[in-house]
Copies of this chain bind each other. A is one copy, B any other.
Amino acid sequence: MSNKRPGRLATRALIFAALGDETRLLVLARLSDGHPQSISRLTSGTNLTRQAVTKHLQVLAHAGVVRNVRSGRESLFELEPQPIEDVRNYLDQVSKQWDDALARLKAQVED
C-alpha cells in the first residue's frame, strides 16, 4: 500500500511554487477583483504570448489556486481562495512557532 496521496507538505509546496512567479502573481492580482477573465484578456498587459499565459494558468489551476470555467468559446478563470487560505494559515503557524520559541529562549536566558 504505497501512499500515492500528495500529503499536506507536498500540497503546500505546490501552492507556494505556483505563487513563486512574477507573472502568476500578476494574474492573481487581476483575478482578485472577483471577475472571471478569459485567457486573452489576461494575456493583454503582459509581454507574453497567449500560450505562455495559458501554461501559467495551468500551473495555478494544478495547484488549485484558480478554477477554469468554459463559457462559449472562452475559457474563463476565477480565483479559488481556499488554497491561499491554507498557506496563509500555515505561515501564521510558522510565525507563531517562531515567536513562541524566541520567547522561551529569552525566558531561559533571563532566568
Instruction: Write out the residue numbers on chain B whose beta carbons fall within 8 Å of the beta carbon of A17.
Output: 16-17, 20-21
Chain A residues with CB under 8 Å of chain B are: 9-10, 12-22, 24-26, 28-29, 32-35, 79, 81, 84-85, 87-88, 91-92, 94-95, 97-98, 101-102, 104-105
Copies per complex of this chain: 2
CB within 8 Å for A34 and B98 given contacts A20-B19, A21-B17: yes
Evaluate contact between B102 and A94: CB separation under 8 angstroms: no
Question: How many Å from the CB of A69 to the closest CB on chain B?
Answer: 15
Evaluate contact between A20 and B25: CB separation under 8 angstroms: no
Evaluate contact between B34 and A10: CB separation under 8 angstroms: no
**Separation of A10 and B25 alpha carbons in the complex (Å):** 9
